[in-house]
Chains A and B, each alone.
Chain A
């Protein structure tokens, strides 16, 4: 009986869900477009309650900086990895400090939802 409960408890503790993004310190390099630089980021989604992540780019005081990517909200299914490029105008390169991804959640009843955000710092 106790062993069954232990197994169920262990299975429940294994159901932890994670959001992970690398590299922690990305570097921008010139892209194929003149005057635009790019960097590649990798997102790993182990959250089974979140399939969409919003990309944001900020300066040192968390002011948004315009950027381009394939999509600003990307779909990453549970236990999948996705790479995405972030393009920045060269004139903004000195200001770019953080590249962030934030989970987008669906509404649920009477539950405090947990949004997770990872912010890498540009070198």
Chain B
């Protein structure tokens, strides 16, 4: 009886099926935009809104992942108007910057010197595969003499980041 059990066990284990279970995937020349820090305006005085940490704000930081070198450029547009706000009767002055704050490959340091700035748009040519982090700053002052208080209410401004295939 014991011999029969052993034979049965051996036969059953010998008959086990080996099934391949492939995991497939493609690596395409893709670009991903990650919003690592959403950003927030601080209100350091009655007539200023600023994303600077010193003003109680937080600068938005975006990570761009490039899968293949030389296929993509990115375009960052910092705000030059509010997308929504209370009624404003005086002048608004928007300023902003976009800088490369960190890179995954040392040679990406050329991105900052090679960037092209036109009005409130900054364009980077992603010639190296990998990740780069971009910090956007935005500041708004209200009133032509910088002494008019912002009316109370909610203010929203839009930063647009575009990844464009070359």
Would you give the 0/1 interface string for B45-70, flagging 1 where the beta carbon is closer than 8 Å to chain A? 00001010000000010110100000
A113 and B158 within 8 A (CB): yes
Query: Measured between alpha carbons, how far is A107 from B86 in the docked complex, in Å?
Result: 13
B154 touches A107 (CB 8 A): yes
Interface contact B165-A110, CB-CB below 8 Å: no
How many pairs of residues, A versus B, come closer than 8 Å at their CB atoms?
114
Q: Is there contact, CB below 8 Å, between B40 and A111?
A: yes
Residues from chain A with a CB closer than 8 A to the CB of B103 are none
Chain B interface SS verdict (over half): strand
A120 an interface residue at 8 Å Cβ cutoff? yes
State whether A18 touches B39 (Cβ < 8 A).
no
Does B91 interact with chain A (Cβ within 8 Å)? Answer: no
Q: For residues 23 through 51 of chain B, which have their beta carbon under 8 Å from a beta carbon of chain A?
A: 28-36, 38-41, 43, 49, 51
The answer to whether residues A112 and B159 also contact, given A24-B29, A107-B154 and a CB cut-off of 8 A, is yes
Question: A111 near B163 (CB under 8 angstroms)?
Answer: no
Contact at A115–B158, with CB atoms within 8 Å?
Answer: yes
Interface, chain B (partner A; CB < 8 A): 28-36, 38-41, 43, 49, 51, 60, 62-63, 65, 71-72, 79, 83-84, 136, 138, 154-166
Task: List 12 extra interface pairs beyond A112-B136, A114-B158, CB under 8 A.
Answer: A19-B33, A22-B28, A22-B30, A46-B34, A49-B38, A100-B162, A107-B156, A110-B154, A112-B39, A112-B159, A113-B157, A121-B166
A-B contacts, 5 of them at CB < 8 A, read A110-B40, A110-B43, A113-B38, A113-B157, A121-B165
A residues near B, CB below 8 A? 13, 16-25, 46-47, 49, 98, 100, 102, 105, 107-121
